[in-house]
Structure 1
Amino acid sequence: MAGVLTAALAGPAVADPVPLSLPKPSGPFPVGTTELHLVDESRADPWAPGRSREVMISLWYPAMPSLRAPARHLRAGIAAFYDQTSAGSVGLDPGVADFAGTRVRARTDAPVFPGRRPVVVYSPGRGQSRSFGTTLVEDLASRGYVVVTIDHTFAGPVEFPDRVELPVSRVDTALMMRERVRDTGFVLDRLGSTALAPAMDLSRIGMAGHSMGGFTAAEAMLTDPRIDAGANLDGSLDPRSGQASARGADRPFLLMGGGTSGADELPHDHVHAPDWASFWANSTGWKRDVHLAEAEHASFTDAQVLLPQIDRRHPLPTDKLAAAIGTVDAHRSLAAQREYLAAFFDLHLRGRHTTLFDGDSPAHPDARLVP
């Protein structure tokens, strides 16, 4: 159960853990959020013999002003997971940061702002929670999108109403990718029957994801025509695990990479990364590649703004911090990501003209368009 897991994972108590906060979304709307537990009775879970496939999702949406309490960033079991795994990834001692106490700006179950909105599905990276993309997700919702975040069970930590499931190890990555794509289709099938269905325009759907979530977006677009546009935030498109690099995308697609990749440490863009190069060459739809040279892989998650807050109070190993989020200014990095992602979906889901993709922007000096 979640409480048992939290107690088992929790490290020694720290008298004054670092309080953490997420930045305010930049759009004009207040944001509401709610979560749903979905069960696909037609599909067995390959990592849970004898059980149907289950997923948790959250919906983030433009809301009316509300006095409801802000939602928690991470549920207790997920906060405990990050508290422990951060030790290996960035050298953070358990209990130093208050992962469990962090709140987001969205209000739980706030009344929906009237209107029908385009939908963006968000898929997290392998080993990550759907909640760890909140800085980007909340911003899209504040700009007038309904954003649906998916936890792919056993690909990352998931807290269900009655238990926490942790990521599996030594898994067949190609199988995991296929199940993630099936999760995406299942969630899209169910959206029309949710309480928020009247707020969603399901004729306009985009998808974005970080790391394996970006790979998932590219793979899902190969078989699901409902997805009109996709974005991959620094995700590998390994041809051993999927077909996206060989087939490309026939609808609008945004690549956004950070820093370097591979043993040769060349820039992670379509010019230097072979899987991205193949995807780019085989894509026939609108496409752009935005590269943040001083960012790194976790820059495209909430780690971009959380780790510097921790580092100011409890200095982290410089090499591990740079390997996670690079040396880019955290505020400028997030601002660029938010602006490029919103401009992409505004253009392709709303038909709103933008000049942001015509050339490098002086407003975002850390980002470069890769021709």
Structure 2
Amino acid sequence: MNRRTLGAVLVTAMTATVLMAVPATASQGVSTPGLSGRYPVGTREVHAVDPGRADPWVPQRRRELMLTVSYPAARAGGPRAPWLPSGVAAAFTQLAASPEFLGLPAGTVDWTSVRRRAVLDAAPARGRWPVVLFSPGFAGPREFYADKVDDLASRGYVVVSMSHTFESAAVQFPDGRVEYGRADVGNGADKKKAIDTRVADTRFVLDRLADLSFADTSRIGMAGHSYGGYTTGETMVVDRRVKAGVNIDGALGHGVGQYLPGRVVTEGLDRPFLLFGGDDVDPVTGRELEHSHVDRDLDPSWADFWATQRGWKRDLHLDRSTHFSFTDLQFIVPQVRAHLPAGAQERVIGTVNPTRSVAAQRDYLAGFFDLHLKGWDRHLFAGSSPCHPDTRLIP
């Protein structure tokens, strides 16, 4: 699955046919992996409205966001949170059925029945915990990254994931209203508006963190996938409250048909930043490409950022992966493989071992923030010997 078509696939498939009837024949169960950390996890949904900002996509309305806050819980047990709310589940059913994407027959899975590992509205554990913000890919719902969010919370973090309304393909609000994406991934002006809006969204959320009594706002990190990785870098340029950042397989620019690097590339950062890349295939030649700072063919922004970055930096690679390997599809697709067209799994999530991939992503993400927010060095980033068999540190 080519990273350059990610936003287009999501927007087209999730918004064009969401009103189609779905046969009530779901029988395939899907489960989420158990948590790897020592803490049980609680979660809550937050509807946040910025009274001082008009929505850039719908100017007659105030900017509103949906957030998921996950955190170490005081005790285990209780009703587990749904992976997708009903409106987003209906949209995802159509996305998954798209021949461009999975080709999973509609009705194969009742996505509203899939449960995260986090418990709804559980009491938080005592203490104040470092915070990590999470931003999804262009048009991507925040729900697609539940495993990363919940597992990081199980390792002692408050994790706040954001949906960027009217760019995210579908955002459901507490009154049941679903707002669909309006941003065009192929339009340069929309791409620029999207990154500016995302940075403003993130800074608004940073202002709201004081409302969480269990959040240690002196220790804040941020991570994001695809355009969310770009959002992380651009936010760090203008807001020093974010102490460390991770870009998961995202170009650091907003150009459409031209190279327009962001400020994080042209100016660099003086704080820690991790690049975590996957593989891709050239849509014209079929040549395999590596997303790294040493291969400019796929994305020159990583190489240019590497030259300007003044703070701690590492380039970590997940072999035999794809862009979607860094989403919850990494563990979902293998569970529904029997219902997919031949080759769909490999096209969407690559040939990396799914279980090892999830473990590596969890470990390196937590290890990065352990090092830079907690001062705990687990020696995951030292030397050239990988701690997981599918990963490489690229010098």
The question of 1:32 aligning with 2:46 is answered no
CA shift, 1:245, in A, is 2.0
Helix, strand or coil at the partner of 2:232: helix
Q: For 1:243 and 1:168, how far apart are their aligned partners in 2?
A: 25
Q: Does 1:165 align with 2:182?
A: no
Number of residue-to-residue matches in the alignment: 361
C-alpha contact (below 8 Å) 1:11/1:95 kept by paired residues: no
Q: 1:201 aligns to what?
A: 216
TM-score normalized by structure 2? 0.88
Partner of 1:354: 378
Tell me by how many angstroms 1:322 deviates.
2.1
Select between 102-111 and 355-364 the one with higher mean Cα deviation: 355-364
Letter in 1 for 2:375: G
Q: Residues 351 and 333 (structure 1 numbering): CA distance in 2 closer, same or farther, change over 3 Å?
A: same
Letter in 1 for 2:245: G
> In the alignment, residue 215 of structure 2 is paired with which amino acid?
M
What SS does the corresponding residue of 2:182 show, helix, strand or coil?
Answer: coil
Letter aligned with residue 191 of structure 2: T
Match of 2:332 in 1: 306
* CA root-mean-square deviation: 1.7
Paired residues for 1:110-125 under 5 Å: 110-125=122-137
2:70 to 53, 57, 60: 60
Amino acid in the other structure paired with 1:85: L
| 3-state DSSP of counterpart to 1:137 | helix
**TM norm structure 1:** 0.93
Question: Among residues 268, 272, 291, which one is paired with 1:248 in the alignment?
Answer: 268
8 Å Cα contact 1:122-1:148 kept in structure 2: yes
Identical-pair percentage: 48
Q: Confirm or deny: 8 A CA contact 1:177 1:241 kept in the other structure.
A: no
Q: Which amino acid aligns with 2:180?
A: L
User: Per the alignment, do residues 10 and 359 of structure 1 end up closer, same or farther by CA in structure 2, a change over 3 Å counting?
Assistant: farther
Name the counterpart of 1:293.
Answer: 319
2:347 counterpart SS class = helix
Find 1:228's aligned residue among 236, 243, 247: 243
The one-letter amino acid paired with 1:328 is: V
Q: In structure 2, give the amino acid aligned to 1:314.
A: H
Query: 2:105 maps to what in 1?
Result: 93
Assess if the C-alpha contact under 8 Å between 1:91 and 1:317 holds in 2. no
Q: Name 2:231's counterpart in structure 1.
A: 216
Q: Which runs of 4+ in 1 moved over 4 A?
A: 261-264, 360-363
Answer yes or no: is the 8 Å Cα contact 1:155–1:168 preserved in 2: yes
TM-fit CA distance, 1:248:
2.2
Q: Match for 2:341: what amino acid?
A: L
Query: 1:269 is matched with which residue: 292, 299, 307?
Result: 292
CA, structure 1 residues 285+262, in 2 after alignment: closer, same or farther (shift >3 Å)? farther
Moved more, 240-249 or 28-37: 240-249
1:20 to 24, 27, 30: 30
Aligned equivalents of 2:247, 2:202: Cα separation in 1 = 15
